Structure 1
Amino acid sequence: MKKVITWEQRFADINIMRQRFAVVMSELIESNSNVVLVLADITAERFQDVSNRFPDRVINVGIREQLMIDMVSGMALAGLRPFAHTFASFLIERPFEQIKIALNHQNIGAVLVSAGGSYDLSVDGRTHQSPADVALLSTLANWNIYIPGHAEEAERALRTVAEGTGCDYIRLSTECNHHPYWKGEKSFITLKEGELGTVIAVGPVADKVIAATKNLNVTILYAPFIRPFDSETLLKTLSLPSIAIVEPYLVGTSSNLISAALMHIPHRILSLGVGLEELRKFGTPDEHIQHHGLDKENIQNKLEQFFNNHSS
């Protein structure tokens, strides 16, 4: 008889960023009377203790994601700093109209913290996969979008936005780098300098990009956030105007911003990310990574072909 693994057991150990989120979020609620958290069932069990102590500031609306966004809008209007949390497909895609109207249109700030990445939850089907969340949110103005590549970076982002008043999105994932690269800088971080061009590694793909470019004389910029886009650092560190970007979500999401930064310079762009193709077999996250060419070997092959063909 096949052993049944509960939802809680499945994510008890592997989702390090989500674990850190629960701990840090609980601390923020305890230490700041303006911080409130609205949940849509997801991760609610990890906030039971703080919810018992602060029942008016940890609210679980159930699977009512549109209501969740409307609630954080009202809380922000009342002078609170609201956080909303669930899986990315339910946090960004399902209540997108509420985000557009209740937050952006009314010029109201809030923090959205997702889990699940593009396909961390691939075994649960297409409803739980959200490779287009960053692209979708990027159609709205004035969003700060953090893509932490390590639990410590996720914590740093959480503590930073708790002190703010704007619109912030923090995208948590089970995929992560072996150690943090970001210490709170407001710019992309130079991990390597080279002469053949630049690779922008976004969040948790950094380790694979570093390994894939071991034999390539390129600059690597690490992006723990992708909105606002750091055009200044890109231009300042530019050698040849050949730019590759590796994003752990929809391919091409940020290529227009690279083109805008280099609009006065003839340039080449290679965008690597999650393809538009619908995968009917749910598969594992690692299988999705390999299929979309985001494993180290595929990244290496594509980058070597791109940078070793300067005139193409």
Structure 2
Amino acid sequence: MDTMRDRFAPAMSRILDEDPRAAVVLAAIGTDAFRDVAARHPDRVINVGIREQLAVGAGAGLTLAGLRPVVHTFASFLVERPFEQIKLDFGHQGLGGVLVSAAASFDWPAGGYTHMSPGDVALLDTLDGWTVHVPGHPDEAETLLRHAVAAGDDKVYVRLSVQSNAQARPVDGAGFQTVREGRTGVVLAVGPMLDEVLAATEGLGVTVLYATTVRPFDGGSLRRAVETAGGGADVVVVEPYLEGTSTAAANDALADVPHRVLGLGVGRQELRRYGQFDEHLAAHGLDAVGLRERISGFLSAGARVTA
């Protein structure tokens, strides 16, 4: 199966052919995949080279010119390095645009920590008004990319990853989906974490929600799931980026409901051995084995407290 990033260039090329407002800004990464469409639309496929701050600034400039820009490079170079440009060129000026990242938290361990970005969503959380999509399958990535380009003048971040669930699910760029119902707690699986969560929670009797759009946070669906589980529940949020990124949003949604929240994700401690993707996943406790241990331990502790 192709990856989300493999799907990005063909999908974006079709969008460029279909939508005269669409434009793409690249920063040296992925340029070969856009060679054909760049020949057809040379004014709407722009490569600024290894100048990520310029890429974001150019994207904002294209918005001012009436286009719908999609800025693309690795997450660490798209969100972290040019963060000031995101804050000012898009946010301060009140402009919309689409950021599409690759490499996620640790997709390419051989690239080292410079090419890892577990804190990207948490960083965007410091800004107002960003929609954040975290697809869990290449089909979902293409659907959410189209949602993002068509989203008027909104500010949208689409986070691509090599990690993928085995099957795509219908996504609408909005609410959470109920994948499994239970009575002992609620586990919210974000994007490519769904398959690991389903394997980890087999037989635990929990409700599993699936999120591919995490901002805005669908607190209504979480609240309904908690109420269905008994009016008060243990909630676990499993995210493929910095642990705890969405725990505040979950707590806000359940402010007047008895609950406990555990945030699982990429740990803050840097892993200084390159290794492979699966080794990083396991080291952060995000494979099925690690998740089951931590989720079951959390649920058991809650059961002892309420007994």
- Under a length normalisation based on structure 1, what TM-score does the superposition of the two structures give? 0.94
- Within the candidate set 251, 263, 276, 1:271 is matched to 263
Deviation at 1:183, TM superposition (A): 3.0
Query: Structure 1 vs Structure 2: percent identity of aligned residues?
Result: 47
- Within the candidate set 264, 274, 279, 1:287 is matched to 279
2:68 maps to 81
Residue correspondence of structure 1 range 1-312 to structure 2 within 5 A: 16-164=3-151, 165-184=153-172, 186-238=174-226, 239=229, 240-309=232-301, 310-312=303-305
Residues in 2 aligned to 1:124 and 1:78: alpha-carbon distance in whole angstroms: 36
Residues in 1 aligned to 2:271 and 2:198: alpha-carbon distance in whole angstroms: 28
Amino acid at match of 1:227: R
Q: Which blocks of at least 5 consecutive residues in structure 1 are unaligned?
A: 1-13
Q: Deviations over 1:210-245 (max 9, x none)?
A: 111111111000001110000000111212321001
Deviation at 1:65, TM superposition (A): 0.5
Residues in 2 aligned to 1:183 and 1:119: alpha-carbon distance in whole angstroms: 25
Residues in 2 aligned to 1:15 and 1:120: alpha-carbon distance in whole angstroms: 15
Deviation at 1:15, TM superposition (A): 5.8
Farther off after superposition, 290-299 or 184-193: 184-193
Does the 8 A contact of 1:15 with 1:174 survive in 2?
no
1:10 maps to none
Secondary structure, in 3 states, of the residue corresponding to 1:260? Answer: helix
Q: Deviations over 1:69-113 (max 9, x none)?
A: 111111111111000000000000000000000001111000000
Residues in 2 aligned to 1:193 and 1:49: alpha-carbon distance in whole angstroms: 47
Does the 8 A contact of 1:15 with 1:173 survive in 2?
no
Residues in 1 aligned to 2:272 and 2:193: alpha-carbon distance in whole angstroms: 24
Amino acid at match of 2:224: K
Residues in 2 aligned to 1:245 and 1:259: alpha-carbon distance in whole angstroms: 11
Residues in 2 aligned to 1:185 and 1:248: alpha-carbon distance in whole angstroms: 18
- Write out the 4+ residue segments of structure 1 that deviate beyond 3 Å after TM superposition: none
Residues in 2 aligned to 1:132 and 1:174: alpha-carbon distance in whole angstroms: 17
Compared CA separation, residues 185 and 280, structure 1 to 2 (3 A): closer
Compared CA separation, residues 82 and 185, structure 1 to 2 (3 A): closer
Deviation at 1:182, TM superposition (A): 3.2
Q: Deviations over 1:113-171 (max 9, x none)?
A: 00001000111111001000010011111100000000010011011111112000000
Secondary structure, in 3 states, of the residue corresponding to 1:273? Answer: strand
Aligned residues: 299
Deviation at 1:184, TM superposition (A): 1.7
Deviation at 1:307, TM superposition (A): 1.4
Q: Deviations over 1:36-64 (max 9, x none)?
A: 00000111110011011111100000010
Compared CA separation, residues 185 and 74, structure 1 to 2 (3 A): closer
Does the 8 A contact of 1:182 with 1:224 survive in 2?
no
- Under a length normalisation based on structure 2, what TM-score does the superposition of the two structures give? 0.95
